[in-house]
Amino acid sequence: MAVSGEKPPPPPPPATASGGTARKLILALLTCLSSALLYRQIQPLPPKIPGTPGGPPVTATRTRLSDGRYLAYLETGVPREKAKHRLVFVHGFDSCRHDALPISTELAQELGVYMLSFDRPGYAESDPHPARTEESIALDIAELADNLQLGRKFYLAGFSMGGEIMWSCLKYIPHRLSGVAILGPVGNYWWPGLPSNVSRDAWYQQLPRDQWAVWVAHHLPWLTYWWNTQKLFPASSVIAYNPALLSQEDEMLMAKFGYRAYMPQIRQQGEHECLHRDMMVGFGKWSWSPLQLENPFADADADDGQGAGKVHLWHGAEDLIVPVSLSRYISQKLPWVVYHELPKSGHLFPIAEGMADIIVKSLLLGDDHPSSSASQRPHSP
């Protein structure tokens, strides 16, 4: 108690935070800030959907699927109603409907070929499909064929990433197919049943930067957007059009493929729903593999009177983008697959002069037909 007439002592100063507590607080704030920044970096931008506010205009012919999505498509060859053969073409990575197999007008007229190509989901003018799987694209193709009234069965051809989709179609819609041409298909290094030595051999044929890009797409798919847009590490060389991936033949063909007038349209919705989604699905975790497939034409006759349909697998021996070794192994394990290996070709062989006609003749007429004689087509070991 203070003595009368004396001033009370001043109150003690407020207690200061200890050095350890302050450091913890600063660390927590930095962690939250870093987490927020990282989250923003790994989250892809919303796609610019054609025909919506802020999106590009719709210039293509499109059809609406049962889930409300639109697919843009292109029809070439003879009119659909006059066609003897109806062929659906599935484009590859970083491509669109305009990259259809370039068969000649003369062959289309001679054989009565109608060809339907389309923008796969997220590419060019087709709506994205964030829930896309290796199965959903096959079902999209079947529904597209129904919308355009192609009939109960049709032929199918696919290139590169579109070639990998051919395996999905053989699994999920085999009853709709008259014949299939698989051209330079991408392979999944984690397919069930693929021997480790085969997978490893193909894996190390990739550039190290592509090994990392594919590894991320498989193991950390949620990081695919960030990995291919960040500047700290080299991302996919395929997306970057690295010339190191071109064989001698591909270098000559790149003038045709690399400078397409419509290239800006291909990625116009943003790279995530086309390129990155392709990687996430194509190199994702599949519950099955082509090695488990059975011949879909073993007990069926083609509707066009040419006999049972065939599955043709084509690959360039000098392909530096997609290792040929996976196609070799699969063709050895599936004796019903007709394998064509092109000894001097790279990845872009389908657009080489006259090659598309050779592929289509083989698919529609068979390799033993006079129009598909050995003197007219590349070596098939």
d(CA 360, CA 199): 30
Give the tokens for residue 313: 């697998």
Q: Which residues make beta-bridge pairs with 159?
A: 183
Q: What per-residue confidence (pLDDT) applies to 37?
A: 56
Measured CA to CA, the distance from residue 119 to residue 134 in angstroms comes to 16
Per-residue pLDDT, 299:
79
Q: What is the C-alpha to C-alpha distance for residues 261 and 6, in angstroms, rounded to an integer? A: 94
Q: What is the mean pLDDT of the chain?
A: 89
Is the pLDDT at 375 greater than 90, yes or no? Answer: no
Given a cut of 80, is residue 367 above it in pLDDT?
no
Distance, CA of 191 to CA of 33 (rounded, Å): 39
pLDDT recorded at residue 256: 81
338 or 20, greater pLDDT: 338
65 alpha-carbon distance from chain centroid: 20
Q: Whose CA is closest to 92, among 278, 331, 315?
A: 278
By the 8 A CB rule, do 253 and 348 touch?
A: yes
Q: What is the DSSP string of 271-320?
A: SIIIIIHHHHHHTS--S--GGG---TTTT---TTSS-S--EEEEEETT-S
368, pLDDT greater than 90: no
What's the rounded Cα separation, in Å, for the pair 252 and 57? 34
Beta strand extents in 47-105 (DSSP E only) = 61-64, 70-77, 85-90
At residue 373, the pLDDT reads 45
pLDDT band with cut points at 50, 70 and 90 for residue 377: very low
Q: What is the mean pLDDT of residues 37-43?
A: 67
According to DSSP, the residues that pair with 76 across neighbouring strands are 115
pLDDT > 70: percent of the chain:
83
Residue 1 pLDDT class (50, 70, 90 cuts): very low
- The string of pLDDT tens digits covering residues 44-64 is 989 999 999 999 999 999 999
**What contacts 172, CB < 8 A, 6 or more positions away?**
135, 138, 139
How does residue 259 score in pLDDT terms, banded at 50, 70 and 90?
A: confident
Is the confidence at residue 301, as pLDDT, over 70?
no
pLDDT at position 173: 98
Pairing of strands 70-77, 61-64: antiparallel
Residue at 268: amino acid letter: Q
pLDDT value of position 352: 96
pLDDT the model gives residue 158: 98
149-154 mean pLDDT: 96
Count of CB atoms situated within 10 Å of the CB of 172: 17
Buried residues in 183-217 as b, exposed as e (16+ CB within 10 A):
bbbbbbbebeebeeebbeebbebbbebbebbbebb
CATH 3.90.1150.10 fits 62-299+306-365, yes or no: no
State the average pLDDT over residues 264-269: 96
Q: Taking 50 as the threshold, does the pLDDT of residue 202 lie above it?
A: yes
H or E element in which residue 236 lies: none
| Structural contact between residues 75 and 98, judged by C-beta atoms closer than 8 angstroms | no
Q: Place 253 in a pLDDT band, splitting at 50, 70 and 90.
A: very high
Q: State the Cα–Cα distance between residues 295 and 249, nearest whole angstrom.
A: 33
Structure tokens at 317: 């021996």
pTM over 0.85: yes
Mean pLDDT of 326-347: 97
* Stretch 333-355: mean pLDDT: 97
Predicted confidence at residue 133, as pLDDT, reads 97
Question: Tokens 């083609």 correspond to what residue?
Answer: 302
Least confident of 25-29, 77-81, 99-103, 332-336: 25-29
Going by C-alpha positions, the residue among 43, 41, 54 that lies closest to residue 269 is: 54
Q: What is the mean pLDDT of residues 264-292?
A: 97
User: What angle (nearest 5°) sits at the alpha carbon of residue 117, between those of residues 114 and 121?
Assistant: 155
The single-letter DSSP state of residue 377 is S
Q: What is the mean pLDDT of residues 245-267?
A: 91
Give φ, ψ of 142 to 5 degrees: -65, -40
* Residue-wise pLDDT tens digits, 5-29: 556 556 555 444 455 666 766 666 6
